[in-house]
Amino acid sequence: MELTARVRTARRPLPTAMAIALAAAALSLLAAPSEAAAQNRGNVQAEQSQKLRSLRPSTPAMPPVGRYVAETGEGFILDRSGRHPLLRFESRDETWVLRPTAAPRGDVIYRNDAGDQVLRVTPNGGMTVYTPRTPGGSPASFSGAGQSLTPPTLGPMLLFRLMAQRSAMVSEVVGRLVEVNLDGDQSEALCVEALVVTTEAVIRIARSPTAREYISDLRSITIIEGARAGVTYSRGRLTVTVDPGEGLAGRPSSARVIRAILP
């Protein structure tokens, strides 16, 4: 709102006190437009800054499913099409369920269910992948489209064949018969994922000269469904519980399986 002061010529001299009061009022009226103008200039500058920001290149959008390659040459698939980001290295069978957390400078860190850092993504799309071979991180770049990591449903015949195959693989590296059991009727795909991940973790332990002793009494591996994902190992029985309500996030990773076995 603009304020306008009208000045009239007095017909007779005003008292001194009244003249001072009118002068002060006139000064306040003159100052008001100056403050309003300053506010307007501030608004205009803010609008200009906002327009300049909108003209800057935006952060490169990551595709829902993409293939990436690290500087080390290791490729991996990152699937962000579902409720939880999924990652699988091309040289391994395990699919990692990632959990994003905010980091300084606007970065996003993706961790697995054991709290290990797997990925770091900057606001401009830069990506760093972390593996046991490169704990300090290796830059990665987008190389093309990828295939969804959602686990398929096998059916009874293929499921039985997979269980027999996994039992044979574990028994061979451990040096004795290890039974593999799968007891789940709500989510076959989730139980299959847990079966593959768990047996891979046991095989890694068996092949380690320093960790092999901790599965010296292993006799069975059982996958069951429950209200909460978890891993227990007692008296030669390794039991992995999956939570169908959480999807792939309800399946413990190999890192959690290994930590449950090793002291």
CATH topology (fold) of 65-145: Lipocalin (2.40.128)
Strands 65-70 and 75-79: antiparallel
Interatomic CA distance for residues 99 and 250, integer angstroms: 12
User: Would you state the pLDDT for residue 256?
Assistant: 94
- What's the predicted TM-score (pTM) here? 0.65
Answer whether 150's CB lies under 8 Å from 69's CB. Answer: no
pLDDT tens by residue, 42-59: 454 445 444 333 333 334
Interatomic CA distance for residues 47 and 27, integer angstroms: 31
User: Would you state the pLDDT for residue 125?
Assistant: 86
Three-class secondary structure of residue 223 per DSSP: strand
pLDDT tens by residue, 214-235: 999 999 999 999 999 999 999 9
Q: Alpha-carbon torsion 222, 227, 230, 231, what sign?
A: negative
Answer whether 203's CB lies under 8 Å from 184's CB. Answer: no
Q: How far is CA 13 from CA 16, 17, 41, in A?
A: 9, 12, 41
Answer whether 256's CB lies under 8 Å from 231's CB. Answer: yes
Residues of the chain with pLDDT under 70: 1-62
Domain ranges of the chain: 15-56, 65-145, 156-261
